[in-house]
Structure 1
Amino acid sequence: MKRFSNVLKNSVLLYFRMVVGLFVSLYISRISLDILGVDTFGLYTIIASFVIVGGVLVNVATVSMQRHLSEKIGENLSRTLSTESKNVLDACVIVNTMLGIFSILLIILFGTVYINLYLNQDIVNISIIWYVFYVSIATFLISFTTSPYLTLLISFEDTKYYALIMILEIISKLISILCLYLTGSKSILDYTIAIFISILITRLILFLIVKNRYKNIPLTLTYDWNIIKPILSFTGWNLWGGIASVMSLQGVTFLINIFFGLSVNTARAISLQIYSAVTQLVNSIQIAIAPQLVKSNGKENNYFSQLFILSGKITIYLAFLISLILYENTESLLDLWLDNYPPVTIIFLKFTYIEIILTSLGYPVLSAVQANGNIKKYQLVVGGLMILNIPFIFISISLYETYISIYIVSIIISSISLLYRLIYAKKIMGSIVNEYLFSVVIKGILVLLLSLILTNLIHCNTIILNILINGIIFSILFFLIILSNEEKKSILSQINRLLRVNI
């Protein structure tokens, strides 16, 4: 019970962090559009896309290091690393450095080729484009070199400090961009430098927190191939999956620029920001649960299975509820959020919500497979499926000359990918995946469809009231259909306890 309590507490902390981050990020987008304008903002997203690919590599490194550190730390949360754990940390940093060098070379190679040969723009001097590109690389380098410190916070389940750092990062971005807004700067280079400064300040604070909080942390970089080899293998397969995933998203940005221009790129950037914000919000649950999944994997109890199903239910509640609210109020929320946006944004967002749902259903499965450690075939097939987005989308755009085909192809491939995830997970985890399929996936989709029907029958013109109705309808159906009897009793007991305290 105590372990479940810790998981829920960590989940709430990270969820709070992501909610704050979500709203601040949306406000930053509004200011960014005001500062840069639609076309220049679209141009920035293209250049930044190369570094976003690198950002995925940061996440891959963090997940890989967290998995191996959590396994060695076990239930020891004394904030002192054992000799064995210290050796694993040293090995993780070596692998992280290798991955960082590879990432920078990859970014420079593809960025240089694309900017020189394919970039379709005439609004900014090419020399400014190169400055923006290199400052973006510097921003990525800072994020990457400090990722081991974030890994320590997650592995020790120090979520309050992890949440603090992430909130500070997004707030520092807001302050930096507000300074640009107040000074009247419209420069894309100034905007990029502001982002760089905010990341630099936040990561210095992260370094100081880790240095003062944990013992036996100074790195000796001891080379032990027997430790490095499994970490390198695990990271390598995760790297393939991460690159494939981000290329399936960001590669479309490049294709849109080639075929449709900067205005449609801006619509794509807005939809990707919503996708990223919501999926990060949902994935915060997996960050909280992942260490416990690793530590309980292989033990002779059903805690792992219970945690897997619990993470699935929490994940779909957040993902489906947010997607439902956004779907029912897209135009009103866009008008409230942005003064000026391309009309095609509404269409892009409608399809984006479907992608969010499919992606979220795969998160708990991925976390469980990562905890098991048997990821080679999983990442090989899933990554291969996701990378197929690029050629198939290119063919569909060439044939039909419409951006709608982008999302149709993406949704079909995401659906096939989810099906394979479930099939693979069943092979290594057994019958618990059947329960996930029935209790989480099928019931979750049923609740979402019923909610869509009822919310369309009870629709209000007032946006706040409409959001409230959406949330109440979905929550009631979720409670009645998805939660087990024990979970219902537990929630009702907590509600009664709160009512007694207030009375």
Structure 2
Amino acid sequence: MKEPQVKYQGSKRRIAKNTLLLYVRQVLILVVSLYTSRVVLNTLGVDDFGIYSLVGSFVAMFGVISGAFVVAITRYISFAMGEGDLEKLINLYSTTMWMQILMGGGIFLLILGAGVYYVTSVMVLPAGRIEATLYVLVFSAVSFYINLLSVPYNALIVAHERMQAFAYIALVEVLLKLAVVVVLPLLVYDKLIVYGLLTVVASLFVRWLYMSYCRRNFTECEFRRHIDWPLLKDMMKFVQWAFLGNGAVVLKEQGISIILNLFLGTGINAARGLANSVNGAVMSFTQNFIQAVQPQITKLYSSGQTAAMCNLICVSSRMSFYMMLLLSLPVIKQIDYILELWLGLVPEFTNIFIVLTLVDSMVNSLSQPLLYGTLAEGKIKVYEILLTATYLASLPLSYILLAMGHSPVDIYILVIFLRILIQVFLIQQGSRYGMEFRYFSRQVFFYALPVAVLSGSGTYFLDIGSMEMGVVRFLLETSVIMAVTLLIIMTIGVKREERGAVLGILRSRLQKFFG
């Protein structure tokens, strides 16, 4: 496959701008979440905070269902926009709204039915807190339903690449969360119940903002009474396969946690939970870039520009990997100091779990744009079956390894190997829309692997001499690692025209800044 000579500079500029806006949004949410979590914990107390977190985790399990709808709706809206058919977009919007109303109502009732049994028969609660816990369950279920109804609006914003809407509304959401934690200590009623209610009110207001923005800015945001049944049937076929894959991911994550607990107790789960928290914080920033790229991939496919789509997938795979590498290497190098500063008392295996989880996410970052190419093509049945079989196979294999006396570290190595296998599946699926294995290897692996080896080696052998470990050394090492990694990326990790474009943007910004 020859490298396509397709120009889509406007798309690249939009991707860069949207990524920056999503970064700002993520930083705001991250900072406020850290602060509000601390205030809520102090206000509610350990027991009530634990109740709220546990109920929230129970409701979040049903996210595997909503996740499949999110994937389907985002794909179909972006595809229709690429075709430029306004009437189809209007029908699609109305049909997805009806789908969310009806399916969401069923999921809402399922959460309440299973939740009441879980709270009254399974959960171990402090005396006299069953009633308050049931209130929290209802509030959490209502919030879940509200968020489900907002999926078509969020999909429209992503498809139109109006990421500034996410950034601005995130600012309002941040202010609402701050208002809740300020008001909460002043109230005399049961604070757990009040906090659940205020969270629903804030969520409802934020979703109203998304709805108002879409109805004001997008002409296709027109709700009709009729349902396009052929379209709904086609979407449900897509949803069922997406649901299969999402379910396999959840089963893999929860199943491995249960197996580790069976052999090694709760301490190992604490280490795994901390590793997932650190990995989630790092990945949240790279996911913003991927979210900005996704609608472009779908639109290019729907408009018949498959060569440009393959080129964008390859560029996005490299760039998302570089972002993950740039953020992960300082954490890997200084993981012991970070854990000591953050936790004090560190559960066994936490450091190596974090390192291997970050490596797994770096491998995943290479394949994420490939996944969006497969979703754009629409025929996901084979991939989802292979994904499900691979992830489910990790459970008996993990059990066998631990039963044979292997270290839990070997489980993480197994997961990385399976991740690489899934990446091979995605590249093979890419042949359906023109992505040849040789082309992807030449455009991605040829650049990314040398960057990873050189940057990783430089990080491993970095030594600041006799300087004592502390904040100053931490900041100095982080700066050196990121600077060296960035230099290696710009030298051998990008093509000449990409390097020239980046330097040109920096030059113009500096000239503008200095007048």
Counterpart of 1:137 in structure 2 is 141
CA distance in 2, matches of 1:148, 1:113: 31
1:490 aligns with 2:501: yes
Q: Provide Cα deviations, 1:56-89, integer angstroms capped at 9, x if missing partner.
A: 433432231122122222386xxxx933211111
Q: Percent identity?
A: 24
CA distance in 1, matches of 2:423, 2:42: 38
CA distance in 2, matches of 1:459, 1:39: 45
1:93 aligns with 2:97: yes
| Candidates 423, 426, 430, aligned match of 1:421 | 426
Classify 1:47/1:406 alpha carbon distance in 2 versus 1 (closer, same or farther; 3 Å): farther
Counterpart of 1:63 in structure 2 is 71
**Superposition map of 1:154-173 within 5 A:** 154-169=158-173, 172-173=176-177
Q: Provide Cα deviations, 1:8-51, integer angstroms capped at 9, x if missing partner.
A: 22222223322333444445555566667889867765543332
1:458 aligns with 2:436: no
Task: Report deviation, 1:343.
Answer: 5.4
Counterpart of 2:214 in structure 1 is 210
Task: Report deviation, 1:213.
Answer: 3.0
1:241 aligns with 2:245: yes
3-state SS of paired residue (2:494): coil
The residue identity in structure 2 corresponding to 1:83 is: E
Classify 1:194/1:273 alpha carbon distance in 2 versus 1 (closer, same or farther; 3 Å): farther
Classify 1:285/1:383 alpha carbon distance in 2 versus 1 (closer, same or farther; 3 Å): farther
Counterpart of 1:9 in structure 2 is 17
3-state SS of paired residue (1:430): coil
1:437 aligns with 2:441: yes
Classify 1:17/1:157 alpha carbon distance in 2 versus 1 (closer, same or farther; 3 Å): same
3-state SS of paired residue (2:61): helix
| Candidates 39, 47, 59, aligned match of 1:51 | 59
CA distance in 2, matches of 1:342, 1:276: 19
- Indicate if the aligned counterparts of 1:22 and 1:281 stay in contact, CA closer than 8 A: no
| Greater Cα offset, 284-293 or 55-64 | 55-64
CA distance in 1, matches of 2:121, 2:398: 20
- Indicate if the aligned counterparts of 2:306 and 2:433 stay in contact, CA closer than 8 A: no
1:384 aligns with 2:389: yes
Classify 1:445/1:403 alpha carbon distance in 2 versus 1 (closer, same or farther; 3 Å): same
Counterpart of 2:294 in structure 1 is 290
Task: Report deviation, 1:350.
Answer: 2.2
CA distance in 2, matches of 1:285, 1:330: 25
The residue identity in structure 1 corresponding to 2:82 is: G
**Structure whose CA Rg is larger:** 2
Counterpart of 1:326 in structure 2 is 331
Counterpart of 2:488 in structure 1 is 477
| Greater Cα offset, 81-90 or 365-374 | 81-90
- Indicate if the aligned counterparts of 1:135 and 1:193 stay in contact, CA closer than 8 A: yes
The residue identity in structure 1 corresponding to 2:451 is: V
1:20 aligns with 2:24: no
Task: Report deviation, 1:322.
Answer: 1.4
Classify 1:109/1:424 alpha carbon distance in 2 versus 1 (closer, same or farther; 3 Å): farther
Classify 1:250/1:345 alpha carbon distance in 2 versus 1 (closer, same or farther; 3 Å): same
Counterpart of 1:367 in structure 2 is 372
- Indicate if the aligned counterparts of 1:278 and 1:322 stay in contact, CA closer than 8 A: yes
CA distance in 2, matches of 1:492, 1:45: 46
- Indicate if the aligned counterparts of 1:316 and 1:361 stay in contact, CA closer than 8 A: yes
- State TM-score, norm by structure 1: 0.84
CA distance in 2, matches of 1:28, 1:268: 24
Task: Report deviation, 1:366.
Answer: 0.7
| Greater Cα offset, 25-34 or 150-159 | 25-34
Q: Provide Cα deviations, 1:125-182, integer angstroms capped at 9, x if missing partner.
A: 6725554444332221121122111112112221110233345445544553465579
The residue identity in structure 1 corresponding to 2:364 is: T
| Greater Cα offset, 461-470 or 262-271 | 262-271
3-state SS of paired residue (1:157): coil
The residue identity in structure 2 corresponding to 1:317 is: Y
- Indicate if the aligned counterparts of 1:361 and 1:441 stay in contact, CA closer than 8 A: no
The residue identity in structure 1 corresponding to 2:457 is: I
- Indicate if the aligned counterparts of 2:390 and 2:418 stay in contact, CA closer than 8 A: yes
- Indicate if the aligned counterparts of 2:74 and 2:155 stay in contact, CA closer than 8 A: yes
CA distance in 2, matches of 1:261, 1:208: 49
The residue identity in structure 2 corresponding to 1:306 is: N
The residue identity in structure 2 corresponding to 1:420 is: F
The residue identity in structure 2 corresponding to 1:149 is: Y
The residue identity in structure 2 corresponding to 1:358 is: V
- Indicate if the aligned counterparts of 1:132 and 1:189 stay in contact, CA closer than 8 A: yes
| Candidates 312, 317, 337, aligned match of 1:312 | 317
The residue identity in structure 2 corresponding to 1:14 is: L
Classify 1:478/1:88 alpha carbon distance in 2 versus 1 (closer, same or farther; 3 Å): same
| Structure 2 portions without partners, runs of 5+ | 1-8
Classify 1:390/1:164 alpha carbon distance in 2 versus 1 (closer, same or farther; 3 Å): farther
CA distance in 2, matches of 1:34, 1:492: 48
Task: Report deviation, 1:279.
Answer: 2.9
| Candidates 160, 166, 180, aligned match of 1:176 | 180
Counterpart of 1:270 in structure 2 is 274
| Structure 1 portions without partners, runs of 5+ | none
